[in-house]
Amino acid sequence: MVPVVELKQLTHVYVSDRKASLAVEGLDLAIYPGEFVSLVGPSGCGKTTILSMIAGLLTPTQGEVLIQGQSVAGPTPEVGYMLQQDYLFPWRTILQNALIGLELTKRLTEDNRQRTISLLEEMGLEGTQDGYPSQLSGGMRQRVALVRTLATDPDLLLLDEPFSALDYQTKLQLEDLIAGTLRQKEKTAVLVTHDLSEAIAVSDRVILLASHPGRIKRTFDIPEHIRQAQPLLAREQEGFNELFHEVWREMESSEHAD
């Protein structure tokens, strides 16, 4: 099976006037269709840098990113990127915001428009399409951002801390909704989060990164019974707490090793 995304010896150096800093070094990783993978690790370990390279927004200094076996040279429609902040345009209606990716890629047809309206309904946003972002709560705006990302029907979704600005209850609800939706649509996803319990609850695989330079420290395969449970219930499964502490200890040891 061809991986949806493959990273080969991926390396990135940020260069400024005064210095060069090695943000990510020698990362090898393959992610297969339908997998939900989380990247966790201390702040500054290179998570956003890695996503930006997968999205084709940042060019690797060495190594390469392959999407469906093709080397990435820039942004492609197969990849959707959803950020921590929703970046909705305040002067556009909810529906106009949701359609922007289709507009920009010149794929706005009546069918796609109807599909996007259905997606808004699936996300519990019926009745909001003619309103404006300022009229919605933070959780609703993130749901609009998810619809906007899904509207172009990407194979791979990159999610950079999409829940971190939300209150705890909203975050748990949104984790359930997003994980459920992506699974049902058989999307492949890479989630960046600093919340270990979130990573374990939503993922098939959790990849712990170490910093300076960013590299893979250890990979945790999530047991089947935790994977099958909805994120909210996953946290109550046998073995969840033990796994959480194992990842936590490993993360602490990686920080102190630097």
**Spatial distance between the Cα atoms of 127 and 176, rounded to a whole number of angstroms:** 22
Among 11, 49, 149, 193, binds ligand ADP (CB under 6 A): 49
**Residue 84 binds ligand ADP, judged by CB under 6 A:** no
Residue 1 or 15 with smaller CB distance to ligand ADP: 15
Q: Which does 248 bind (CB under 5 to 8 A by kind): ligand ADP, Mg ion, none?
A: none
Give, in order, the Cα–Cα distances in Å from 26 to each of 54, 62, 214: 14, 8, 9
Q: How many Cα atoms occupy the beta-carbon half-sphere of 195 within 13 Å?
A: 19
Residue in the structure block whose two tokens are 């997998």:
35
Give, in order, the Cα–Cα distances in Å from 134 to each of 75, 89, 146: 29, 10, 17
Burial class (CB in 10 A: 0-12, 13-18, 19+), 29: buried
Give, in order, the Cα–Cα distances in Å from 46 to each of 10, 50, 77, 212: 11, 6, 24, 9
Span of 47-55, 67-75, 77-85, 226-234 interacting with ligand ADP by CB under 6 A: 47-55
**Residue 59 binds ligand ADP, judged by CB under 6 A:** no
**Residue 44 binds ligand ADP, judged by CB under 6 A:** yes
- Cβ atoms within 10 Å, residue 207: 22
Tell me, residue by residue from 38 to 67, as one string, x for binding to Mg ion by CB under 5 A and - for no binding: ---------xx-------------------
**Residue 23 binds ligand ADP, judged by CB under 6 A:** yes
- Cβ atoms within 10 Å, residue 212: 15
Residue 48 or 149 with smaller CB distance to ligand ADP: 48
**Residue 141 binds ligand ADP, judged by CB under 6 A:** no
Residue 23 or 102 with smaller CB distance to ligand ADP: 23
Least separation in angstroms between residue 85's CB and Mg ion is 12
Quick check: 51 and 190 in contact, CB under 8 A?
Answer: yes
Residue 46 or 139 with smaller CB distance to ligand ADP: 46
Least separation in angstroms between residue 46's CB and ligand ADP is 4
Q: Using CB under 5 A, list all residues that contact Mg ion.
A: 47-48
Per CB under 6 A, residues contacting ligand ADP are 14, 21, 23, 43-49
